[in-house]
Amino acid sequence: MKDFYLVVDSETSGLPKKWDLPYSAPNNWPYILQLAWIIFNKNGEEIKRENHYINIKNVKISKASQNVHHLDYNFLTLNGKDRLEVMTRFATDLETYHPLIIGHFVELDFNLICAEFYRENIKNCINELPLYCTMMASKSYIKNPSLKYLKLNRFYKTLFNKRPEILHDAIVDAELTSEIFFHLLKKNEIDDDIIEHQQTLFHIKNKKINPNFKLIGLVLIVILTILISYLAYGK
């Protein structure tokens, strides 16, 4: 097990249109509107926490997402920080602690963080770190065969017999996920083998990061321009 655990959660402008596209693909990967993370040592003691709203410009927030987290342009303009600043702070903590990264549906957080690193030209060190998903862990607690996984609130209620009062606030969700993680850890339901097995289930995790679609597009434009010129003026 790692010496440090980083529990992360995000609220976003929407969901990816296609999960298998690179992070440079235009209009595919939504934007992070709120990013929160809590860092613990291996004894479960909290080291630090951060919670940031991000000031967005020219970013469309889907109605479905807004109905979930209730974040809008006015609030984010007043309370949001610069995207580069927030993502740099997160990247610095990854480099400093080299943690196990934990989340509920952590694959979504992972991919959106990678997309933001690409947009801000920040070194993508998260791709080198192991992930642990509490949503995947919920599978063994399902009693209804029609369900594949439990949502965060249902998993929390299943484990602790109480329903969370607030959801879809990234820092609150990170706190709930932390409680779930340490509960499972205490019950010996998490170990290195389980974490290693989960890595094989993140089929998106090993896809190529940041291929230069802009360069490819530029080359195609140049070739097309030459071809048109040849057809128009060549003999």
At 23-76, the pLDDT tens digits run: 999 999 999 999 999 999 999 999 999 999 999 888 899 999 999 999 999 999
* pLDDT reported for residue 23: 96
User: Is pTM, for the whole model, over 0.75?
Assistant: yes
Mean pLDDT of the 137-155 span: 95
Per-residue model confidence (pLDDT) at position 207:
47
- 178 with 8: CB under 8 angstroms? no
> What is the share, in percent, of the chain residues with pLDDT greater than 70?
86
Predicted pLDDT at 235: 45
- Cα distance between residue 19 and residue 21, in whole Å: 6
Q: Which two tokens stand for residue 83?
A: 């995207």
- pLDDT > 90 fraction of the chain, expressed in percent and rounded: 81
Q: Each residue of 61-104: pLDDT tens digit?
A: 999 999 999 999 999 999 999 999 999 999 999 999 999 999 99
Could you give the CA distance from residue 100 to residue 130 in angstroms, rounded to a whole number?
5
Q: 182 with 174: CB under 8 angstroms?
A: no
Query: Which of 167 and 119 is assigned the larger pLDDT?
Result: 119
- Can you give the residue ranges of every domain in the chain? 4-233
Confidence of residue 147 (pLDDT cuts 50, 70, 90): very high
Mean pLDDT for the chain overall: 90
- Dihedral (CA of 88, 94, 95, 97) sign: positive
Task: Convert the pLDDT of each residue in 198-229 to its tens digit.
Answer: 999 986 554 444 444 444 445 455 555 556 55
Q: What is the DSSP string of 58-112?
A: S-PPPHHHHHHH---HHHHHHHPBPHHHHHHHHHHHHHHH-PEEEETTHHHHHHH
Q: Which CATH class is domain 4-233?
A: alpha beta
pLDDT at 213: 43
What does each C-alpha distance from 154 to 10, 18, 137, 176, 203 come to in angstroms?
Answer: 19, 27, 13, 11, 25
The helix/strand/coil state of 10 is strand
